Structure 1
Amino acid sequence: MEASDLLRKLPLSVEAEQSVLGSILVKPESFERIAGQLDAEDFYMEDHRAIFSAIQDMFLKNRTIDTVTLVNALVQGGYRDETGGIQYLTQIAQVVPSAANIRDYARIVKEKALLRRLIAACEEISEEAYSEQGDVSRVIDAAEQRIFELTQNKGSREFRHVKEILAGVYQELVDKAEHKEVDQGVRTGFSDLDRVLVQLGPADLVLVGARPGMGKTSFAMNIAVNAAKSTGKAVCIFSLEMSGEQLVNRMLSSEAMVDSHALRTGEIRPEDWQRLADASAMLAGCELLIDDTSGITVADMKAKLRRVKNLGLVVVYYFQLMQASKNIESRVQEVADISRNLKIMAKELSVPVICCAQLSRGPEQRESKKPMLSDLRDSGAIEQDADIVLFLYRDEYYKDVKGAKANVEVNTAEIIIAKNRHGALKDVKMSWNGQFTKFVTMENQGGVGGAG
């Protein structure tokens, strides 16, 4: 194919690229409005890439940006005649329609770049399909992954210089310092716990472990509902043990503050119906998606999650019921494979993934019944892959056990932060209401409202 033909056919807008650069020259502070939105590689023209890269560098060094200083930066960076010098920079500054529209120009540049990457991805996918090599399902999964990455603006790329990443990070810090609204991940909705964790960040794998009967399901569902209400984003729940109907009954009990036993037996009091109606309306307005497929694999999860728009959080209940994507004889290796792929999924989807897990009988065999990292079943790989490990412990669960301590705390749960890649390790006490399958921050235990 002729170079001129390739130039004609590939999606690009030289005018939009010029307008982005010209807007910055006319109004340097406008760069802050697109910091992190564009990379130098999004520009098709090589000279435009060099100019944008130099602007990023000058911004990070807090240097004045104008035609003279930019030309000097380009020369120092090894670009001399390739970018057209001060004459070309002056020209694009003069022809830009309006610096106020820089975000629109940047959007066009980004869209054209994504279309070019889509063309490249489709060509690679076609070559793999024509080769007829490898398992078909793996080829399809790889194709889905490539397209999904593009929709998330995360297409595979080469090394990025730190200055490209710093521009977006720096602007986010400025926004936080100025108390502007910044997407800071997902909060649990429990204020005491959030003060320690701050947030469940994108790509975080969060393990919630406990012995049976401690309230793992309720805790995870409370967080799921809190996140759906506070973020407005989709929260996807994979329930490998309980049916969707059982989970929704628990949600209704927690949100309406109606006895969970009454919901199972149908012995609902007249005064409960209005609260149930209000809770139903609230839940129906949330983007809560439930999949109760048994024995699902991480690959199956990813295929379903890629089709969910505005995904905010994934909850998996529970770990030991999951299946590996391939046949593995050793359970330890199988657990390690599932754990590793859950972490990869969290990173690829750029959302926190909460996974509940059963603990071994270790706590029952010790004087201290509080769980430890060594109680994770089958493999230490779970501990290694998880960014955050939370253990649930309730004193009263062991009150009838021989040798139990005299002063047992009732209706109280401890959230033990056993691992926190981002911060402190601490025990957080919360109120537990088994009647309503609800955890409540201690400061709010007197009310019937939200969990935070």
Structure 2
Amino acid sequence: MALEEEELLLKQLPHSVEAEQAVLGSMLIDPRCVPDVIEQLRPEDFYIRQNREIYETIYSMFNFSLTIDPVTVLENMRKNGVYDENVSRNYILQLMDTTPTAANVGEYVAIIKDKTLLRRIAETAGDMTAMVQQGTDSGQDVLEAAEQRVYAIRQGRAARGLTPISAVLLDVYDRLNELAASDAAVPGLSTGLGDLDLAISGLNKSDLILLAARPGMGKTSMALNILLHAGKFSGKSVAFFSLEMSREQLVLRLISNESFVDNKKLVTGKLNESDWEKVAAAADALNRTKILIDDDSTVSVADINAKCRRVEDLGLVVIDYLQLMTSAGGKERSGDNRQQIVSDISRALKIMAKELNVPVLCLSQLSRANESRTNKRPMLSDLRESGAIEQDADIVMFLYREDYYEKESENHNLAECIIAKNRHGETRTVELQWLPEYTTFSSIDRTHEEY
């Protein structure tokens, strides 16, 4: 019998009864440590049901700013229907008796967090084994599911399940406090173009931002502008996935942007002494950034997602461009038309942005429809294999330069960034200066008041 009991105990998932009791005891002895514990532990981190019920009671009391002591906790347990006449009162007293001091609550919390981590890893390993044994999924699918689950654990998030609004409210308050304390003009990452930042509130976490234009309008240049600014000033890692240009071409473009040395000179190598000095200074500045470049031209969303999960402190993902990607599953199904494939890719990109919790800037080609119109400014219906892309994106921006179509135009090197969809505000047009020799965009210096 003893052997059977031992085997049953071994089947239990990792937990520490003593640490759970010590944390609860500390909170009851000294309510001053409650905010620190609430910040670090969720109710599901407690493995023993009785401990979890007590913690849930304290957690909800804290959210309503109620006084926390043994009497009020017992009263709230009674209201919540988790009070046991014969057990609860004695157990609360026992918790306080067995906890030597609240001074070590940080160590007790660390033990619980470690046990929770081990349980999540064990659950994931069990689920993966079950997927393999069922034999219905390919190795690639199982690997993708495993990476997704492990990434969720690493980020401190549960891979699935409903979240009570009380937990979300705490996160929202933290975010509001962070924004209130910040000196930044916009809540998201800056694009480096002030007028554009104000129009779209910067590049915000979990957003899918689509930048679309006809070939030759400067999509890649705009994306590299944004990447360079984020790489230099955000302090985070920024990743650029280029399906069209090589790493060397991209870095030449970045050097041109940073050094203001004519791009043609860099391509031909015809540089004078002053140019070399500027290039050296630009290379030094680029060297200090955490810009990551991938020029694999056969990449899928799943590949990008897997690569980005391994990047420490990721701040932004840029993809150039959507129509060149292989389908979300990495394999084209023979019955699928291109519209369905692009629809799958755009949906997967939005899911990736939410999972990685970073802005994803994706470039897209436009159809030729605008070229047959008198007014050649792009609109949402011009998106190639449209529909799903327009629906999934949080922000859709178009680039348009009148002098591209009309060489004699007065608006020489004036570019329009047309914000056609914006979940964070209004749709409008932002005027930018196009500097072709440096393949870069800049804000227009306002010399008159706008009405």
TM-score interval for Structure 1 and Structure 2 normalised by the shorter chain: 0.7 to 0.9
Aligned equivalent of 1:393: 400
User: Contact 2:350 / 2:393 at 8 angstroms: preserved in 1?
Assistant: yes
- 1:334 maps onto 2:341 in alignment: yes
**Aligned counterparts of 2:428 and 2:112: Cα–Cα separation in 1:** 46
Aligned equivalent of 2:194: 191
- 1:51 maps onto 2:54 in alignment: yes
Correspondence 1:316-395 to 2 at 5 A: 316-324=319-327, 325=330, 326-327=332-333, 328-395=335-402
**Aligned counterparts of 1:83 and 1:220: Cα–Cα separation in 2:** 66
Aligned equivalent of 1:209: 212
Question: Root-mean-square deviation (CA), in Å?
Answer: 2.9
Query: What letter matches 2:438 in structure 1?
Result: F
- In structure 2, the CA distance between the partners of 1:63 and 1:322, relative to structure 1 (3 Å rule), is same
**Aligned counterparts of 1:36 and 1:421: Cα–Cα separation in 2:** 30
**Aligned counterparts of 1:92 and 1:81: Cα–Cα separation in 2:** 16
- Cα distance, 1:235 vs. partner? 1.3
- Where structure 2 has 5 or more consecutive residues not aligned to the other structure, the ranges are none
User: Contact 1:36 / 1:165 at 8 angstroms: preserved in 2?
Assistant: no
User: Contact 2:433 / 2:443 at 8 angstroms: preserved in 1?
Assistant: yes
Identity %: 46
**Aligned counterparts of 1:5 and 1:201: Cα–Cα separation in 2:** 50
Task: Name which of 406, 411, 414 aligns with 2:416.
Answer: 414
User: Contact 2:179 / 2:187 at 8 angstroms: preserved in 1?
Assistant: no
- Cα distance, 1:374 vs. partner? 0.8
Task: Name which of 136, 152, 175 aligns with 1:133.
Answer: 136
Aligned equivalent of 2:312: 309
**Aligned counterparts of 1:72 and 1:180: Cα–Cα separation in 2:** 44
Aligned equivalent of 2:280: 277
1:1-48 Cα deviation digits (max 9, x unpaired):
967655566322334434444454455465444555432112212223
Aligned equivalent of 1:256: 259
The TM-score, its normalising length taken from structure 1, stands at 0.88
User: Contact 2:402 / 2:411 at 8 angstroms: preserved in 1?
Assistant: yes
Query: What letter matches 2:373 in structure 1?
Result: R
Aligned equivalent of 1:437: 439
- Cα distance, 1:96 vs. partner? 5.7
Aligned equivalent of 1:231: 234
Task: Name which of 155, 158, 168 aligns with 2:158.
Answer: 155
Aligned residue-pair number = 439
Query: What letter matches 1:263 in structure 2?
Result: L
- In structure 2, the CA distance between the partners of 1:382 and 1:104, relative to structure 1 (3 Å rule), is farther
Task: Name which of 426, 429, 433 aligns with 2:428.
Answer: 426
Task: Name which of 288, 291, 314 aligns with 2:291.
Answer: 288
User: Contact 1:51 / 1:83 at 8 angstroms: preserved in 2?
Assistant: no
User: Contact 2:196 / 2:202 at 8 angstroms: preserved in 1?
Assistant: no
- Cα distance, 1:88 vs. partner? 4.3
**Aligned counterparts of 2:242 and 2:304: Cα–Cα separation in 1:** 11
**Which piece of structure 1 moves more, 93-102 or 378-387?**
93-102
- Where structure 1 has 5 or more consecutive residues not aligned to the other structure, the ranges are 446-452
**Aligned counterparts of 1:204 and 1:83: Cα–Cα separation in 2:** 52
**Aligned counterparts of 1:35 and 1:201: Cα–Cα separation in 2:** 27
- Cα distance, 1:387 vs. partner? 1.0
Secondary structure, in 3 states, of the residue corresponding to 1:271? Answer: helix
- Cα distance, 1:305 vs. partner? 2.1
User: Contact 2:212 / 2:364 at 8 angstroms: preserved in 1?
Assistant: yes
- Cα distance, 1:82 vs. partner? 8.6
- Cα distance, 1:373 vs. partner? 0.6
